Each structure stands twice: as structure tokens, then as C-alpha cells.
Homo-oligomer: A and B are copies of this chain.
Amino acid sequence: MDNIKIGYIGGGSKGWAWRFMSDLALEDSFSGEVRLYDINYESAKINEIIGNRISEQKDAKGKWRYRAVKEIGEALEGADFVIISILPGTLDEMEIDVHLPEKYGIYQAVGDTPGPGGIIRSLRTIPIYIEFAEAIKKYSPSSWVINYTNPMALCVRTLYAIFPKIKAIGCCHEVFKIPKLLSLMLKEKEGIEVNPSEIKQNVLGINHFTWVDKISWNGRDLLPIYGEFAEKYYYEGYEEEKDRWKKDFFASANRVKFDLYKRYRIIAAAGDRHLAEFLPWYLESPEKVYEWKFSLTPVSFRKEQAKSLSEMSEKLAKGEMDFPIKPSGEVGVQIMKALLGLSDFITNVNYPNLGQMEDIPKDAVVETNVYITKDKILPIYSGKLPYDVNSWVLRHIMNQEMILSAVLDKDRELAFRAFYNDPLVESKVSWNTARKMFMEMIEGTKRFVPKYLGGEK
């Protein structure tokens, strides 16, 4: 199969796109063309150069042609796969999302899924995804669409709401952290070296608030060993490299996960910084966050990161350096391979609930294992969450539905109601204060918020 066509929306992205190019280069069973579409055409053009350079590297087994395109239709027409990975708005808007609420005492570690930041981000992302869904319906209705943008669940939910026959999933690597963690534990306690991919887990929940209720390796139940570590390292925390969380904004000592295990006897399967945003009690104050041993990623850091990626981009384009071809840890390329029928694959993805999760409304986008085979994503039944965990999951699902309705029905009051119903908001401020904060956040991000929700777009 050497004529596969991929349309890449957000194809000018730095870092993420290159890792994807690298994954493609590592796979030799299929190849073809990648059309890079981006609202910033220049950056797509640069990635065209970078991508083609990667293809030319000797260790590139899969040879792909990269081509920047000016219209979304050019990217989509005839595509076998559509990749979406965009930044909704700019980091300036993200700064509002994450940091403005701090003056009201609301702290967020990421700010891209729930929380006041996640909701404001959603209000500018959903209108964009409505357009994507319409474009896909028009240009490539039978393509498989793989989304990487956050808020993950709402992006995927929007695609299905607008074009119900779309074939779309959302991919996220957070859950893979659990097998990795278990392999560390096995090594420490018993000296066994286990490849995380051999550890089998049952995944259920929603993106970034995902859970694992069964996990085993080679016939052995691994929950007991996790429980042991959770207890032993409850206060101290546990990580591959001690105190890495102090210098790496994306790391943690897993204390939040251990606390959740102590409460619910089930493994929370995402980074602590994500998990903490779904519940009202881990983000009380920066001091508390420090005690829980994770960080609040400042957007200033992301801006610096963006700057160095920009510099790297130049160098890559000029050929002053090579992008190293090595696995990114994402499974997008394996998923494409399975959808082409070349090798069945089971992994966790974000997909509308067809019954794979019980006690969760149909159509809500849930994250569970699926069986991927030729041209099919088939959800695997995953059971149900403990009632208390489920009550929080349901609250976030209700909020997602409310946010989506707010955009579809152009109902600003509903958007605010979702905002207030977020646990981080509701647990900290009054209805009236929340409204003030909401207005300020809309104002601060107005360039990307539709007029009907109070913005300028």
C-alpha cells in the first residue's frame, strides 16, 4: 500500500507534527502522501520541507511525500486519513484560560479540558470543529479522522454532532502511563523487566479522567502490587526519577493517583496534573499542589517552549539538523495500519458510547479499549465505574453536553451555567463572582470567541 493519502489539519504544528512524521517513517507497510493544511500557510510550508527531509533520511523505512496546501478541501479530498492537531487560538488566550482564574483563587495545572480554562477553551474550539466536521462531510466523508486536540472529548463529540456518520476517534497517550508505572513497580519489587506493552488493562472513563479497573501481566493480577506501592509511597510519592516533578512541569510523584486509589480502589489513568482538575480538592492552593507533588504548568513556559521549537523549526528546514527518527510513544500510525487491515490492534481511544460503558449516556465520548480492524473501530465492553467515581464523570459529561448545546444553540447563559457547574469553579466562588470571572475571560479571549457567546469572532 504505497498510495495512502493523509490530510493533516494543523499541519504547520511544531514538535508534534515532526514526531508524527518520524512515526510514519518508522513503519514500512504503507506509505503515500501527507497534505499539510494550516491557517498559517507558512508554517505548513516549512513542515513540507522538514517532512520531505525526514523521508529522505536513510533510516526512514516509510517514504512519504509532504505537501503544504492552501485550502482545507485540498487536504481532505480523497484522504484515507485525516489528522487533526491544532492550537485553538494562541498561547495568549491560553494565558487567560489558565491564569486569569488565579485571581479568584482557582488554580489549574493544565487548563485545557475541564476547569474554567478548559471551558473557555471549548467555547473557541467547538466552532472550529463545527467547520472541520462540515468540511469532512463535504470533501472526505469516508475518511478516518484521528483527533489529537484538546479538549479531546468535546472535539470528538462535536464532529459526531455535526456529521453523525463521521468515522472519527480521539487519541491520547495519558493512559499508557499506567503500564509504564507498573513495569517500574515490578522491576523495583521483584526485579522483573516487563515491556509495558505486554501489560493488559481494562480502560474506562473520559479523556484525562480515565480509569483502569483490571490490569494484568502474563496471567498475574497487578492491582495488588499497585495497591502496595500506593500505600507504601502514599506520602513520599513514587516516580522513575526521584523529584523529577520539581523540575519537569509534566511530571508528578503520582501522589494524586495514590490518593485516588486509596479512596476508590481503582487506578486513575492519566497524569496527576490532569486528574486533579476534575475534582475540587487537589488544587486548593499552590502550596497544596506542592504537597501533592505536581506542578501548575505556567503558560509562560509554554511560550518559551514555542520559541525554541520555532528556532528548531528553522534549523530543520535549513538542514542544519536532522530530526531523529524514533518512536514518539503515540499509537496513531499503528491505528492507521490496523484500519488498513494490515494488523489488528487493541488500544484505548475516545469514541462515542455505543454501550461500551454502562451507566453513561449513549453518545457521550468515552475512553475505553477498542478493537481496530480493517475499516472498523469496534468498542470493547468495559463495564462500569464505581458509583462515586461515576458521579464525577457524569457531572463532567453533563457539562460537556451543556457546553456543546451552548455553542450549537448560541446560548451564552447556558455556557455560563456549564462554567459554574464545573467543580473547580463551583467549589471556590459564588454564582455572582463566577459570572464576573466568566465575563472577564470571554473579554480576554474575545478575538476567538463567537459573537453569539459574547466575543468578537
| Chain A residues at the B interface, C-beta cutoff of 8 Å | 1, 200, 202, 214, 216-221, 263-264, 280-281, 340-342, 344, 346, 354-356, 358-359, 361, 369, 371, 373-376, 378-382, 386-388, 390-391, 394-395, 398-399, 401-402, 405, 417-418, 420-421, 426-427, 430-431
| Most chain B Cβ neighbours within 10 Å, of A382, A395, A431 | A395
Q: How far does the Cβ of A226 sit from chain B's closest Cβ, in whole Å?
A: 15
In the bound assembly, the distance between CA atoms of A381 and B340 in angstroms comes to 19
The copy count of this chain in the complex is 4
Q: How far does the Cβ of A224 sit from chain B's closest Cβ, in whole Å?
A: 13
Residues B374 and A221 in contact, CB atoms below 8 Å apart: yes
Residues A341 and B218 in contact, CB atoms below 8 Å apart: yes
Neighbour of A263 across the interface among B344, B371, B379, B431, CB < 8 A: B431
Q: List 24 A-B contacts (CB under 8 A).
A: A202-B376, A219-B340, A219-B374, A221-B341, A281-B426, A281-B430, A346-B371, A354-B381, A369-B371, A371-B380, A379-B381, A381-B381, A386-B402, A386-B417, A387-B399, A387-B417, A388-B402, A388-B420, A391-B394, A391-B395, A391-B399, A391-B421, A394-B398, A395-B395
Residues A417 and B398 in contact, CB atoms below 8 Å apart: no
Across the A-B interface, give the 9 residue pairs with the lowest CB-CB distance, nearest first.
A355-B355, A219-B341, A391-B398, A216-B374, A387-B398, A387-B402, A391-B395, A388-B421, A379-B381
Known contacts A340-B219, A355-B354; A388 and B417 CB within 8 A of each other = yes
In the bound assembly, the distance between CA atoms of A418 and B1 in angstroms comes to 40
Chain B residues closer than 8 Å to A361, beta-carbon distance: 359
Chain B residues closer than 8 Å to A399, beta-carbon distance: 387-388, 391
Chain B residues closer than 8 Å to A369, beta-carbon distance: 371, 378
Q: How far does the Cβ of A405 sit from chain B's closest Cβ, in whole Å?
A: 7
Q: Main SS of chain A's interface residues?
A: mixed
In the bound assembly, the distance between CA atoms of A426 and B427 in angstroms comes to 10
Chain B residues closer than 8 Å to A264, beta-carbon distance: 417
Q: How far does the Cβ of A203 sit from chain B's closest Cβ, in whole Å?
A: 11
Chain B residues closer than 8 Å to A378, beta-carbon distance: 202, 369, 380-382
Chain B residues closer than 8 Å to A394, beta-carbon distance: 391, 394-395, 398
In the bound assembly, the distance between CA atoms of A417 and B376 in angstroms comes to 26
Q: How far does the Cβ of A107 sit from chain B's closest Cβ, in whole Å?
A: 18
Q: How far does the Cβ of A148 sit from chain B's closest Cβ, in whole Å?
A: 23
Residues B374 and A371 in contact, CB atoms below 8 Å apart: no
Q: How far does the Cβ of A428 sit from chain B's closest Cβ, in whole Å?
A: 11
Chain B residues closer than 8 Å to A371, beta-carbon distance: 346, 369, 371, 380
Known contacts A202-B378, A373-B216, A378-B380; A388 and B427 CB within 8 A of each other = no
Chain B residues closer than 8 Å to A202, beta-carbon distance: 373, 376, 378
In the bound assembly, the distance between CA atoms of A100 and B340 in angstroms comes to 50
In the bound assembly, the distance between CA atoms of A248 and B220 in angstroms comes to 46
Residues A373 and B200 in contact, CB atoms below 8 Å apart: yes
Chain B residues closer than 8 Å to A380, beta-carbon distance: 371, 378-381
Q: How far does the Cβ of A251 sit from chain B's closest Cβ, in whole Å?
A: 25
Chain B residues closer than 8 Å to A431, beta-carbon distance: 263
Residues A263 and B220 in contact, CB atoms below 8 Å apart: no
Chain B residues closer than 8 Å to A200, beta-carbon distance: 341, 344, 373-374
Q: How far does the Cβ of A125 sit from chain B's closest Cβ, in whole Å?
A: 19
Q: How far does the Cβ of A90 sit from chain B's closest Cβ, in whole Å?
A: 30
| Most chain B Cβ neighbours within 10 Å, of A355, A369, A379, A405 | A355
Residues B355 and A356 in contact, CB atoms below 8 Å apart: yes
| Most chain B Cβ neighbours within 10 Å, of A355, A371, A387, A399 | A387
In the bound assembly, the distance between CA atoms of A82 and B219 in angstroms comes to 19
Residues B405 and A374 in contact, CB atoms below 8 Å apart: no
Residues A220 and B398 in contact, CB atoms below 8 Å apart: no
Residues A398 and B388 in contact, CB atoms below 8 Å apart: yes
Neighbour of A381 across the interface among B220, B355, B426, B427, CB < 8 A: B355
| Most chain B Cβ neighbours within 10 Å, of A202, A369, A375, A391 | A391
Neighbour of A216 across the interface among B341, B390, B398, CB < 8 A: B341
